Amino acid sequence: TATYGAAMRSGVSHGDVVISDGPIDFPKTTDLNAVIVQSQEAYEHMALSSNQHDRLSATREGAVVIVDKDLVSWNLPETYRVIPAPMARVAAEGLGRRQVMNIVALGVLQVATGIHFGKPLISEDAFLRAIAKSVPSRFVELNKKAFLEGVKIGKEALERA
């Protein structure tokens, strides 16, 4: 399967999001509750490296690790809750646009955090409103559909996990 995205263009990239009910006083992410891995290169960088950017060493025991089951071969300790989902395949084959893989991944994350924490960290409605507000109008429906497909495959993956 061909790789698309930042990993293809210039190496591994990562983004961090901090969600909190209270003030966030330290922007560096530590003690992570969830990680999404969308390529083998990213997995190897995160899981096998010992550098300061190693996301898995900063991930708490019992954390959710969402992996693209078609693109990533993983061997993680049972201390992680691994959720394999076909994010790239759903984006490319199901939606016809591999570029929405990240939005599919957010749908999987929304479901996973709901199960893991007893309630979603961000509601499905909030995600859909954010898409409508931040995505160019010609891509809103595609991105909403991608998110909802991610929710669907997330539920399926959690049933198997």
- Residue 42 scores a pLDDT above 80: yes
Average pLDDT score, the chain: 85
- Residue 7 scores a pLDDT above 70: no
Rounded to an integer, the average pLDDT of 27-55 is 76
- Residue 71 scores a pLDDT above 70: yes
Task: Give CA–CA dist 28/16, Å, rounded.
Answer: 8
Task: Give CA–CA dist 18/95, Å, rounded.
Answer: 29
Helix or strand (DSSP H, E) at 145: helix 140-160
Rounded to an integer, the average pLDDT of 80-101 is 95
Task: Write down the pLDDT at residue 3.
Answer: 45
Task: Write down the pLDDT at residue 55.
Answer: 61
Task: Write down the pLDDT at residue 17.
Answer: 77
Tokens, residue 28: 């560096």
Rounded to an integer, the average pLDDT of 125-144 is 96
Task: Write down the pLDDT at residue 68.
Answer: 96
Contact 84, 69 (CB under 8 A): yes
Task: Write down the pLDDT at residue 10.
Answer: 54
